[in-house]
Structure 1
Amino acid sequence: MITEAVGVFMKIAMLGQKSVPSRLGGVEVVVENLATQMTMKKQDVTLYNRKVKGITPVKEYKGIKICTVPTIEKKGLAAISASFFAAIQASVKKYDIVHIHAEGPAFFSWIPKLFGKKVVVTIHGLDWKRAKWKNGLGAKFIRAGEKAAVKYSDAIIVLSKSNQEYFSKKYSRETILIPNGVSNPKILSTALIQKKWNLQKNKYILYLGRIVPEKGIKNLILAFKKISTDKKLVIAGGSSDTDQFYAEIKELAKDDPRIIFTGVVQGKALEELYSNAYLYTLPSDLEGMPLSLLEAMSYGNCVLVSDIPECTDVVGMNGIIFEHGNVDDLQDKLEYAINNPTIVQKFKEKSSNYILSKYNWGKIVDKTLLVYRKCLND
């Protein structure tokens, strides 16, 4: 049935992402991979990007059509304004499927429905739980978006079993579980990262992701500072409307020269960081479907993650687990990994094959196209 779905030509609009191509967040990585592979499968895909400061808009990327919509560049209003204008444009044009990514943008799912479009919503995580959205207009918008997705969408895709259970219990709404994927990586040497940050192979522990409170970065710094090791801690990633938090953790780390903040990394620097880490860690208290964890394992990294289901479901028995929010346990597990290189190496040896066989973008795109086809047939 998947083959049948793939063979059907469809015009598809996607919205909710900030900007593609970019690595501003996990949503952007997902949308880029979905759109790229769908285009390769002869589908017609248009992405409705936000206008993002510092990013030059493009009209085409790898065969994907890209439209940049008007955006009010103020905190809390960028996503709302861009999603509204994207939903309007996608509604008045001839698309078979309008695919909305994330809970906030799903608030406008009623607009394409009003115009007779089939609407698919992907819930990348329960965004209203995130620290930056717990109050104010943004929080209300996201919660309303979740309810709109339930009411107006023809299909809801979730990335984890816990989110699937949430929608079933709270709304009695059936959802489709399609996790994120990962591609075969290119392993690189330390040429660039050694020059930029003096990083050598297996001499650093890597966190890579958005710099936001729910990722557990503060606890990671507190735990690492208590450990006697010559390995460095690399914190790679940028702020996501969380400049104050970023400043706070940099202040916390300023007296430890082993802790390095790289800012946003892309391209070769990103690949080199993944390729040469001794250990990758994701100490999150909250996740949707952690793409950086998939990517780290695809590069053959030993991983240390918190015990939240979104992390443990990915890792299985192929990594080291600590109790989320527990600084002492995180410190113990970091020390265990540092002091047991043989065990770390064993995890490294099986990590890549395990994750690449389980989370394959080709299969995930086919499953998504099948969801589209079923919506059109209903």
Structure 2
Amino acid sequence: MPIKVNMFSSASKVKGQGVGSAYEELIRLLKTHFPKQIDVSINKFTKADISHYHTIDPNFYLSTFSKKRGIKVGYVHFLPETIEGSLNIPQPFRSIFYKYIISFYKRMDHIVVVNPTFIDKLVAYGISRDIITYIPNFVRKNEFYRFTEANRDAVRERLEVNNRFTVLGIGQVQERKGVKDFIKLAENNPDKYFIWAGGFSFGRLTDGYADLKQVVDNPPRNLKFTGIVDRNALVEYYNAADLFLLPSYNELFPMSVLEAFSCGVPVMLRDLELYHSIIKGYYIPTQDYEDMNTQLKLVSEDKERLNKFKQLSDEASEEYSEDHLADIWLDFYSSLTK
């Protein structure tokens, strides 16, 4: 008998966010690799061996009180502190929402985190370490891959990159993502071309919306804001880029970094501590805007250094590939039902 897993998620309703990408990747993985071992249903309030919650919707919270749910698994993509700089929620609603997040996680029988640094933080909120498992995100090589030189040249021409050194950022346009540093880099490096693929997924609720909207509507001549891009079109932007830069102040395990690795693009990041346990050594670390600006100039002028980080991206993509993670997920679900 297959393991019946009911997925609960509304992540796909809001485009341009990593939670939805991670959720969709997992669904595809299970259906592709284990059609006989795992029976996946989506948002069905029917009896299941395992109910896997990807988002914290109130109706999902209420469903956890039913015995039909089987073993309840919570997928932790964020904590209260990681929402700071993303959404502008006034008090007292912010405190109420943060308490609700932790209450939801405490309703779970088991927790999956995408970054091991979250384990201690969840324990500090009163969740037992024994029920927390770390399973990283992943991407598919047949969706995010390196183009041939001819195809890359064609994409660069179509995106009007021309012969300029091109820096790509991907994600929601918000304070937490460090978009203001990305804008400043464009302003101070007029010889390079900058693309930010992403938009205001949460509209005016986005932290820093007013200031950022002004720049998005009137960017520097060498900076393009694409708005929200369908995920199946992102592979072209990765391949058009010479460097992927994510200047975020706070992240978990960003899908965009894995996608860049998978496309063989050198990666530069603000050197957050939470990256150290998962991808340290695979990216160019920077501390602040000045460091980003210095490293950008160095890497754009040193082809050997650029090629070194292309190779490191290739190595990282193998570690976080679909095939590598497939067996981990099967073992995890199997262990719960035993």
Q: TM-score range by the shorter chain?
A: 0.7 to 0.9
Does residue 125 (structure 1) correspond to residue 120 (structure 2)? The answer is no
**338-347 vs 205-214, which moves further:** 338-347
- 1:198 counterpart SS class: coil
Q: Which residue is equivalent to 2:66?
A: 114
Gaps of 5+ in 2: none
Q: Using the alignment, how far apart are the partners of 1:204 and 1:265 within structure 2? A: 18
Residue 23 of structure 1: how far off its partner (Å): 5.2
Q: Which residue is equivalent to 2:138?
A: 181
- 1:284 counterpart SS class: coil
What value does the CA root-mean-square deviation take over the aligned residues?
Answer: 2.6
Residue 277 of structure 1: how far off its partner (Å): 0.9
Q: Which residue is equivalent to 2:119?
A: 164
- 1:186 counterpart SS class: coil
- Percent identity over the alignment is 24
Q: Which residue is equivalent to 1:52?
A: none
Q: Given that residues 115 and 278 in structure 2 are in contact (C-alpha distance below 8 angstroms), is that contact kept between their aligned partners in structure 1?
A: no
Question: Higher RCO, 1 or 2 (CA under 8 Å, sep at least 6)?
Answer: 2
Q: Using the alignment, how far apart are the partners of 2:325 and 2:243 within structure 1? A: 27
Residue 294 of structure 1: how far off its partner (Å): 0.7
Residue 221 of structure 1: how far off its partner (Å): 1.2
Residue 313 of structure 1: how far off its partner (Å): 3.7
Q: Which residue is equivalent to 2:235?
A: 271
Residue 160 of structure 1: how far off its partner (Å): 0.8
Amino acid of the residue matched to residue 308 of structure 1? L
Q: Using the alignment, how far apart are the partners of 2:136 and 2:320 within structure 1? A: 7
- 2:64 counterpart SS class: helix
Q: Using the alignment, how far apart are the partners of 2:146 and 2:259 within structure 1? A: 12
List per-residue Cα deviations over 1:11-43 (Å, max 9, x = no partner). Answer: 2221233328x8532111111121112122112
Does residue 155 (structure 1) correspond to residue 130 (structure 2)? The answer is no
Number of aligned positions between the proteins? 320
Residue 159 of structure 1: how far off its partner (Å): 0.9
Q: Which residue is equivalent to 2:323?
A: 362
Amino acid of the residue matched to residue 25 of structure 2? N
Q: Using the alignment, how far apart are the partners of 1:258 and 1:313 within structure 2? A: 35
- 1:271 counterpart SS class: helix
Q: How does 1:221-260 map to 2 (within 5 A)?
A: 221-227=183-189, 229-243=190-204, 245=208, 248-252=211-215, 254=218, 256-260=220-224
Q: Using the alignment, how far apart are the partners of 1:255 and 1:148 within structure 2? A: 40
Does residue 36 (structure 1) correspond to residue 28 (structure 2)? The answer is yes
Gaps of 5+ in 1: 1-7, 49-88
Q: Give the alignment's TM-score, normalised by structure 1.
A: 0.76
Q: Using the alignment, how far apart are the partners of 1:95 and 1:201 within structure 2? A: 55
Amino acid of the residue matched to residue 11 of structure 1? K
- 1:348 counterpart SS class: helix
Residue 207 of structure 1: how far off its partner (Å): 0.1
Q: Give the alignment's TM-score, normalised by structure 2.
A: 0.84
Q: 1:266 to 1:203 in 2, by over 3 A?
A: farther
- 2:11 counterpart SS class: coil
- 1:166 counterpart SS class: helix
